[in-house]
Amino acid sequence: MSQDKPVVFVVDDDRSVRESLESLIHSAGWCPKVFECALAFFTLPRPSVPNCLILDVNLPDISGLDLQSLVSVERITPIVFVTAFGDVAMTVKAMKAGAVEFLMKPFHTEVLLAAVEEALERSRTALEFDLEVRALQDRHESLSCREREVMALVVSGLLNKQVAFELGISEITVKAHRGRVMRKMEAKSLPDLVNMAARLGLEH
């Protein structure tokens, strides 16, 4: 599997459909990985490149909708449903759970490819977000315990003198810690630091 090509997974118990989709995915310039059941796919580690899943609803082990509920936790593998036995309720449930598209077999190739393009773009965005958050986590972990305390109080809206009172240190010391926090976190401004704290899930 290429390290830079997007990966398109296919889970469908119909061999002819798998072979057809595998050929289509190849021709579109993506890397196909096909499976006949949900569990075979689910045990495979997700790649670190944009990826998505073309998924049938009716499978021999668990349903496509049940697999969706497991995969959606990861966020980086958007789903395009294809099925011959769908209904309105099933479609609504799948779309509400985050599916990119819900297509009935036989589907138009152009429609499926457009859905896969959108799914891969969603995956790319999610991967970039995760990389940014990991970088922020690394920077935050580089802070000393005191610097983390100062950062938490600063992003909560306290002034330097209020932070000094809360921590029982001088205002000059707070300014020094705050400067190091800004430098280590690579924050350009206080609003930038507040935004970083929000992305890290730190309570304000």
Tens digit of each residue's pLDDT (9 = 90 or more) over 4-46: 899 999 999 999 999 999 999 999 999 999 999 998 898 888 8
3-state helix, strand, coil in the chain (%, to 5): 55, 10, 35
156 vs 203: CA distance, rounded Å: 8
> Mean pLDDT throughout 164-179?
95
Lowest-confidence segment of 48-62, 80-94, 159-173 by average pLDDT: 80-94
Look at residue 32 in the predicted model and tell me its pLDDT: 96
> 113 and 130 in contact (C-beta within 8 Å)?
no
**pLDDT value at residue 203:** 63
Has this prediction a pTM greater than 0.85? no
> Considering the chain, what is the average pLDDT of its residues?
91
**How many CB atoms are located within 10 Å of the residue 128 CB?**
11
pLDDT at residue 3 in the model? 57
List pLDDT tens digits, range 92-147: 888 888 899 999 988 899 999 999 999 999 999 999 998 999 999 999 999 999 99
> Residue 1: pLDDT above 60?
no
Distance between CA atoms of residues 17 and 67, nearest Å: 19
Q: Are 52 and 80 in contact (CB under 8 A)?
A: yes
Residue 78 is which amino acid? P
CA–CA dist 182, 6 (Å, integer): 36
Environment class of 138 (CB within 10 Å of its CB; exposed 0-12, middle 13-18, buried 19+): exposed
* 202 vs 144: CA distance, rounded Å: 16
Structure tokens at 8: 């398109």
CA–CA separation, 78 vs 63, rounded Å? Answer: 17
Spatial CB neighbours of 183, under 8 Å, sequence gap ≥ 6? none
